[in-house]
């Protein structure tokens, strides 16, 4: 009888695990779809979106930052330093202050500024 009870408990645990796996797979599929939609949206806009990783001091760009600025793919450094030094001097203080404010408050960041292209012009 004890063995039968153990098997019953094991089957119940397996069924519960199966439910968890199915839910996890559905969440992964939803996340993949969301990522596809995001990338399709980004690729159809002229705006650039970036996400900063302050620990690694890097930026992940969504959109063709290299092409937009006249660089070959992967040529424009994806670092906070490269980005900030490429901002037009007239805009740099304003943008820097805005970034500091959003880091403190968590508000959304949207800012227009001029950025230096490879040929030295600004967009």
Each residue of 61-73: pLDDT tens digit? 887 888 889 999 9
- % the chain with pLDDT above 90: 39
Name which of 112, 122, 47, 30 is nearest 85 in CA terms: 122
Query: Are 95 and 110 a contacting pair, CB within 8 Å?
Result: no
Tell me which of 40-54, 76-90, 100-114 is least confident: 40-54
**Mean pLDDT estimate for the chain:** 87
Each residue of 16-50: pLDDT tens digit? 999 999 999 999 999 999 888 877 776 666 667 77
Output the pTM of the full model.
0.62
Categorize the per-residue pLDDT at 2 as very low, low, confident or very high, splitting at 50, 70 and 90: confident
Categorize the per-residue pLDDT at 86 as very low, low, confident or very high, splitting at 50, 70 and 90: very high
């Amino acid at each position: 009888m004890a063995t039968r009870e153990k098997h019953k408990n094991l089957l119940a645990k397996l069924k519960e695990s199966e439910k968890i796996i199915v839910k996890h797979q559905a969440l992964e599929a939803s996340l993949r779809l969301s990522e596809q939609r995001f990338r399709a949206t980004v690729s159809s806009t002229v705006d650039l979106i970036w996400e900063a990783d302050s620990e690694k001091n890097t930026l992940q760009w969504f959109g063709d930052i290299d092409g937009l600025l006249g660089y070959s793919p992967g040529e424009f450094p994806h670092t906070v330093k490269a980005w900030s030094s490429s901002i037009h001097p007239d805009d740099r203080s304003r943008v820097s202050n805005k970034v500091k404010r959003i880091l403190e408050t968590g508000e959304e960041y949207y800012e227009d500024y001029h950025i230096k292209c490879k040929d030295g012009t600004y967009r």
